[in-house]
Structure 1
Amino acid sequence: MSDSVALTGEPLALDLVNTRPADGDLLTSPGELRAWLGLEADRFPEAAELAAGQLGAPELAAVREIRDHAARALDRARRGARPAAGDLAALNAAQRAAPAIGELGWDGEAVAVTHRRTGPARARLAAWLAEAAAGLLADPRVTEVRACEAEDCVLLFLPAHPRRRWCSAARCGNRVRVARHYRRHRPG
């Protein structure tokens, strides 16, 4: 499997950081952002709506900026170091730019609360992603975030099992096992 295919299923902040694999950047156009949001549609309430809407260069720039701040803060926090104040301030500012509200409605049987953000799409999208980064950075398990052990991979993951070594068994685990097998069984 190519590293140019988005890996999803980790906490949303890691999925975002992992859109910059070793062989490039998966978010270089509004279309790529829309596709990634489609993969993440069940992760936050407005993902599908934002993916279906008009996403342009400003939204892409906002997401990439959040990704950069989150990646730098996460790199330090997972090692037990203090993230740079500028990175934390940028993540906080993104959340403040599109405040979250609990919108009340009737679901047919009871009053329900839907969490939404106010403001333009660019600010809402950046705020949701900054909130995901804040949640991960504040989680005590942030120090458990690991980098994939495959030699040519830079993706991060939060292992559910302590012996997990790769971002994906199918992506890197298989590649490492095949290479190991080849080294052991290659002709003389």
Structure 2
Amino acid sequence: MSEDIPLTGEPLALDLVNTRPAGPEGRHDLLATPEQLSAWLALQTARLPGLVPDTDPTPDDLPPVHAVRRHTEETVRALMRGAAPPPCSLHALNGAQRTAPAVRALVWDGRELTFTRQRPGPLGVRLATLLAEAAVDLLTDPSVARVRECEAEDCVMLFLPAHPRRRWCSPSRCGNRARVARYYQRHKAPGNPRA
């Protein structure tokens, strides 16, 4: 699996945090460009109710998404350490939810009155609001206490294990690398006749 393809399948807030994996030169951003944000949105469409991109992402859409990602990660990692979340992160996540509140817009279809949920503002602001709401869902769920960091030596990905013995963010990404490294170490050990 390419390091440039974001992992998905965790709670939405963790999928967002995991768009900053570790690479050879440190952490890199998989949402650094509007095109990357667009590709990530395509992977997450079903999980973003009410977000109908009316335009392609622009450079202006990136900062609000990056801010929610940063504050979500700071809060999750604080909770993982058993520490209080940074007040500035809580304030920022609360503020992001207020920037594009859902409005129930009335619609007449010719026979009856219905409503659709709409959010005002630029795509990045609307997306940041939804992502901040997803962060609140995760951070207030008791399962947040089980969030773990991948045990692979060079990985910073977070995951919510469905099984308590899960150790890696991805069996195919980090799990295979760890198993291959252990195998190599066993067979290259001094005094091993196979080495």
- When the two structures are superposed, what TM-score results if normalisation uses the length of structure 2? 0.85
Cα distance in 1 between the residues matched to 2:158 and 2:97: 24
The reply on whether 1:150 has 2:144 as its aligned counterpart is no
User: C-alpha root-mean-square deviation of aligned residues, in Å?
Assistant: 2.2
- C-alpha contact (below 8 Å) 2:105/2:116 kept by paired residues: yes
28-37 vs 2-11, which deviates more? 2-11
Percent identity among equivalent residues? Answer: 55
- C-alpha contact (below 8 Å) 1:105/1:111 kept by paired residues: yes
Deviation per CA, 1:3-35: give whole Å up to 9, x if none: 322000000000000000011110110000000
Runs of 4+, deviation exceeding 6 Å = 104-107, 110-113
The reply on whether 1:129 has 2:136 as its aligned counterpart is no
The aligned amino acid for 2:140 is: A
1:138 aligns with 140
| Contiguous gaps of at least 5 residues in structure 2 | 189-193
- C-alpha contact (below 8 Å) 2:120/2:126 kept by paired residues: yes
Equivalent residue of 1:66, what SS? helix
2:42 aligns with 38
Residue 78 of structure 1 and its aligned partner are, at CA, apart by: 2.6
13-22 vs 68-77, which deviates more? 68-77
Instruction: Check 1:181–1:135 CA distance in 2 against 1; reply closer, same or farther (3 A cut).
Output: same
2:92 aligns with 90
Instruction: Check 1:169–1:106 CA distance in 2 against 1; reply closer, same or farther (3 A cut).
Output: farther
The aligned amino acid for 2:29 is: D
Residue 106 of structure 1 and its aligned partner are, at CA, apart by: 9.1
2:17 aligns with 17
| Contiguous gaps of at least 5 residues in structure 1 | none
Residue 143 of structure 1 and its aligned partner are, at CA, apart by: 1.3
Cα distance in 1 between the residues matched to 2:168 and 2:154: 11
- When the two structures are superposed, what TM-score results if normalisation uses the length of structure 1? 0.88
11-20 vs 60-69, which deviates more? 60-69
Specify which of 67, 84, 88 is matched with residue 69 of structure 2.
67
The reply on whether 1:184 has 2:183 as its aligned counterpart is no
Cα distance in 2 between the residues matched to 1:26 and 1:69: 17
Residue 111 of structure 1 and its aligned partner are, at CA, apart by: 8.8
- C-alpha contact (below 8 Å) 1:150/1:172 kept by paired residues: yes
